[in-house]
Amino acid sequence: MRDAGHDVIAVAESPLRGAKDPELLRLCNDDKRIFITLDVGIRLTGGVLNTGAVILRPPKEFDAADVEKLLRGLIASGDLDRLSGYVTVLSPGRLRTRPLV
């Protein structure tokens, strides 16, 4: 995503490594960032996030390069504004959205 010109904070590469989900979601709210995760169990209800989230659902056999390709496809769609205010579940060939509640 950085290669596409997006301002990215990768938690694993930052001082935020090991931070709890509420702290990461608060940072996304404060900095107006979309939260992208592989964690399908993350709790996003109850107003804890108001910017938007993308939950990646790759098949088990996907590696990091495949996940990157999945994200590049989302970026290539050119309609990233539709992520704001929604939870988007992205898997190969499928994109589902629902409003954050």
What is the DSSP pairing of strand 94-99 with strand 86-91?
antiparallel
Taking only Cα atoms into account, the Rg of the chain, rounded to an integer number of angstroms, comes to 13
Residue 40 confidence (pLDDT) above 90: no
Residue 101 confidence (pLDDT) above 80: no
State how far the Cα of 51 lies from the Cα of 20, in Å rounded to an integer.
Answer: 18
Residue 58's CB is within 10 A of a number of other CB atoms, namely 17
- Residue 10's pLDDT is 84
Six-digit token string for 48: 């804890």
Q: Which residues pair with 86 in a beta bridge?
A: 99
Per-residue pLDDT tens over the stretch 41-99? 888 877 789 999 999 999 999 998 999 899 888 888 877 788 899 999 999 999 999 99
